[in-house]
Structure 1
Amino acid sequence: VFFFAFFVLKPFMETKFAILNLLSSYMSFSQLIARHLREVHFGKNWTWVDLKTTLEEVDLKMATTKIQDLNTIATLVFHMHYYVERQLAVLAGGPLEGTDK
């Protein structure tokens, strides 16, 4: 939920309504969310960072290496995928089935 709210909805909440209205005159809200989610994964988003470019040179050893008590890269990516998958199901009209525990 945090990932979805922070990386997908936050830009819309912080954007002035005039800009959102201008964009929404060309796209529906669901199209805007889909576009932003694609950009977070594949590039050209508001953060100037995307998952594909950031992770493309990370190998399995690097992704699963534990550093002190921090989560591994693999764990973080799993959690991002997990929450986005749950939110997409809700946006498709399904119930929220998931937990953050």
Structure 2
Amino acid sequence: MKINLTIAGRLREVLLNGHWIANTNYKEQLNEISWQLAIQKVGNLNTIAALTYHINYYLAGLLRAFENGKLDISDKYSFDVPQINSETDWNKLVSDFLYNSEQFINQVEQMDDSIFDQPFVDEKYGNYLRNIEGIIEHSYYHLGQISLIRKIAMPNLT
């Protein structure tokens, strides 16, 4: 079994086209959301736009680290979502998210299986496998939140 293909498949499941674990995925959820719903506050929860930005922030940061060997992201900036004031703004965020998702999956797919045990950027961050699996787990966590926020904000959804 090729680890790179297995992990890339798991990423594809949560980000682009799967239904096995959550019966949905980011692409499906985000393509069904208006910009108004994306920025709607539900109680003290993050908005769907903020959660989308948040996951995209980590995808983009790890992609850069794959390319240059430097991790230049910080948790404190991971919710600094730009203003979403129109459908165009929302579509740009979703488009960036989907592009980075595809690029991330493609990068993982091209990795040699020997890299997964190697330290990721610095030993303190663990190995490549731990960090990539972290993206999968983190993505499912926030996908669940997006699904629930949609159902709370639009109770007639099936």
Q: TM above 0.5, one fold?
A: yes
Structure 1 residue 36 displacement after superposition:
2.8
CA distance in 2, matches of 1:46, 1:92: 31
Identity of aligned residues (%): 35
Summarize deviations over 1:38-92 as a string: whole Å, max 9, x none.
3322222652321111222110000001122111000000001001111122233
Q: Does 1:35 align with 2:9?
A: yes
CA contact (8 A) 1:36 1:45 kept: no
Q: Which runs of 4 or more aligned residues in structure 1 lie more than 4 Å from their structure 2 counterparts after TM superposition?
A: none
C-alpha distance in structure 1 between counterparts of 2:27 and 2:44, whole Å = 25
Structure 2 CA distance, aligned partners of 1:46 and 1:80?
20
Q: Distance in 1 between matches of 2:42 and 2:63?
A: 31
Unmatched 5+ stretches in structure 1: 1-22
| Residue of structure 1 aligned with 2:26, choices 23, 26, 51 | 51
Q: 1:1-101 alignment to 2 at 5 Å? A: 23-24=1-2, 29-44=3-18, 46-47=20-21, 48-101=23-76
Q: How many residues align?
A: 75
More relative contact order, 1 or 2 (CA 8 Å, 6+ apart): 2
TM-score (norm 1): 0.61
Normalised by the length of structure 2, the TM-score is 0.42
Query: In structure 2, the residue corresponding to 1:53 is in which secondary structure?
Result: helix
Greater share of residues in helix: 2
Q: CA RMSD of the aligned region, Å?
A: 2.0
